Structure 1
Amino acid sequence: MRRLLLTAALAAACASAFAQKSAADGIAEYRAMLADGNPAELFEAKGEELWKKKRGPKNASLERCDLGKGPGVVKGAWVELPRWFADTNKVQDLESRLLTCMETLQGLSAAEIAKTPFGRGEQANMEALAAWISAESRGSRMNLPQGHAEERRMYELGKRAFFFRGGPMDFSCASCHGEDGKRIRLQDLPNLTKNPGDGIGFAAWPAYRVSSGELWSMQRRLNDCYRQQRFPYPGYASDVTIALGVYMGVNAKGAEAIAPAIKR
């Protein structure tokens, strides 16, 4: 009887493992099929047009915007962001850096853009720009700098924010992304406290969300994570969101960037 129970338990465990593997494999195949015609390409085209188009009160393009590799240099910039910038004396991610360029070069109001809901007005333009800029670094390896004291400080701040528990659910970022082998429904959750590998986690965003039919930047992704934790929404391009980007990005050093990726 005991041997029979052990055999049954082993069979059940094997069946469960097979089912989980099959679910993960099925999602991977689904993404592979969709990636061949990733709608993010439409956002990329819009973003490139916006980069070169003269707009705003100053009737200027963003072609002199310095994303960290010199004015106008886009290729390779995404995999080195967030980073410290001398002109603002701040560590900035892609979105906050674009706000700086849109205000200084084009005369647009960074504060007004930051207050605009996701997917509307200049926020929609921001996500298109993020899609194109990240695509220009596709295939490159994540390489966030840590040479400046502020970059190292923001990494430590991001680490604290990642593990901070609170809210009615007593959740933290680490509740979902702090160890191996976790999932929500059929969705595998990468461990972001260490290097998750090529095209996973930070190296995959921005991404096109099939479920909503929208392109999500990292700022929007983090905003939704806070919603799921039942935390108040963070301010757009606030220090905590940039710090989390530094923490995840540094941990992903050497991973291949595939952004903009495609998500469920």
Structure 2
Amino acid sequence: MKRHHLCIAFAAVISAGAARAETDSSLQSIEQYREALRDGNPAELFEAQGEEIWKTPAGPKNVSLEQCDLGLGAGVVKGAFAQLPRWFKDTDRVQDTESRLLTCKEKLQGVDIKAIIKAPFGSPEKDEMNALVTYISGASKDMPVKVSLAHPKEQAMFNLGRRMFYFEAGPHDFSCATCHGQSGARIRLQELPDLTIGKGAGVAWTSWPAYRVSSGQMWSMQWRLADCFRQQRFPEPNYTSDVTVALSMFMAAMANDAKLDTPGIKR
């Protein structure tokens, strides 16, 4: 009987070891696939498109966005993405890249931004925003994330983002932490970054915006968050709403000092 139990225990150990080996092999294959994708990232095309949109006069006022202040002064793009979201004095709000671009479009170009906010993801209006974000993010590639929490409203937005990260709701009582609150978790053999630690937050934050191979589209963080809400069975948040900026603030601040690898590419 003892020998029988030992055989069962030994078989279980062998089985577990084989499962781990198979998982490790699968993860290695996924990483090799990702490396292959990075060679010739189509995001470069969107980056070029975004630069053209940035420099082309548009809107009722027929001016470009070249005087848009992204936090480092009018027209300064290099390094700006690495410090967003941040508090802006002129709006007295904490804004991410997309909400700040809407402010610039409205103030500089005279654009009615309500149409952009209401447009669905994948529409020409949102595609233009995604291209702009891709261009802006690319100008900070390889720079460390340096998001400030010095202003009271920056700290308040971070605190709101942290609360939202752990907030459970919907038909399945999901939260962001359900998938991204522990290390070593995975779904469909794909590792899920733990956003509660700097390393995990760095992996997640620094790779968006990203080109989605499966859809052939460029996704900004606003789009990524909207899709996360969908998967949690939550109502879709309003584009550039405080809740989306707060979640971005939480991730970005947790990712401080990680180097940006934007624009990224995903399967």
- Residue 105 of structure 1 aligns with an amino acid whose one-letter code is L
1:133 maps to which residue? 136
1:2 positional shift: 2.3
1:249 aligns with 2:238: no
> Once superposed, which parts of structure 1, at least 4 consecutive aligned residues long, lie more than 3 Å away?
none
1:167 maps to which residue? 170
The DSSP-based 3-state class of the residue aligned with 1:215 is: strand
Q: Distance in 2 between matches of 1:222 and 1:66?
A: 25
1:117 maps to which residue? 120
Cα contact 1:199–1:258 (8 A) shared by 2: no
1:229 maps to which residue? 232
1:189 aligns with 2:192: yes
The DSSP-based 3-state class of the residue aligned with 1:226 is: helix
Equivalenced residues, count: 264
Q: Distance in 2 between matches of 1:199 and 1:32?
A: 18
Cα contact 2:46–2:218 (8 A) shared by 1: yes
Q: How does 1:1-264 map to 2 (within 5 A)?
A: 1-196=4-199, 200-264=203-267
1:121 positional shift: 2.1
Cα contact 1:204–1:259 (8 A) shared by 2: yes
Q: TM-score, normalised by structure 2?
A: 0.97
User: How big is each residue's C-alpha offset from its partner over 1:80-99, in whole Å with a ceiling of 9 and x where there is no partner?
Assistant: 11000000000000000000
Q: TM-score, normalised by structure 1?
A: 0.98
5+ residue gaps, structure 2: none
1:194 positional shift: 1.3
Bigger mean CA deviation after superposition, 13-22 or 229-238: 13-22
1:25 positional shift: 1.0
5+ residue gaps, structure 1: none
User: CA 1:198–1:163 in 2, change beyond 3 Å: closer, same or farther?
Assistant: closer
Structure with bigger gyration radius: 2
Cα contact 2:145–2:259 (8 A) shared by 1: yes
Q: Distance in 2 between matches of 1:259 and 1:171?
A: 29
Cα contact 1:198–1:257 (8 A) shared by 2: no
